[in-house]
Amino acid sequence: MLVTRPLEANTRHGVTVDYQIHVPRNSHVVIHHDFGYVCVSDVTGNIEVNSHTGDLIVTLPDPGPYAIDARTRMGNITSDFVGTSHNRLVMGWNFAFTNQTPPRQIRLRMGRGCITLKDGSSR
């Protein structure tokens, strides 16, 4: 488990922090993130990401089976997977995809920002 403290609101000189975390491929990944860009790739276990503001890209390494539940409050969702999506009121999107009997759960939540789901099996 990696837990970090956020930077102070008044940091000087535009300090940014970039984490690159390597996990075993079949790990269950849970990310709670406040602000910025999140990228998850080549993970075959369950994935859960909650982010307040930013962009989220998830690249799934094989075609499935998955149960994908992705939602944004303000922003859009793009996906290489065929699923059901609909606009929630004026802002935000929901996307759902289930392939056969899904042993793997993908749950993505974004406050303000975009979610992109990519199929990495065609690389």
Dump pLDDT digits (tens) for 82-96: 777 666 555 666 777
Percentage of residues in the chain having pLDDT higher than 90: 34
Q: pTM for this one?
A: 0.78
**Residue 81 has what pLDDT?**
80
Give the model's pLDDT for residue 107: 94
28 contact partners, CB below 8 Å, separation of at least 6 = 45, 46, 47
- Residue 1 pLDDT greater than 60, yes or no: no
Task: Provide φ and ψ at 82, rounded to 5°.
Answer: -85, 125
Tell whether the model's pLDDT for residue 30 goes beyond 90: yes
Instruction: Name the residue ranges covered by the structural domains of the chain.
Output: 29-122
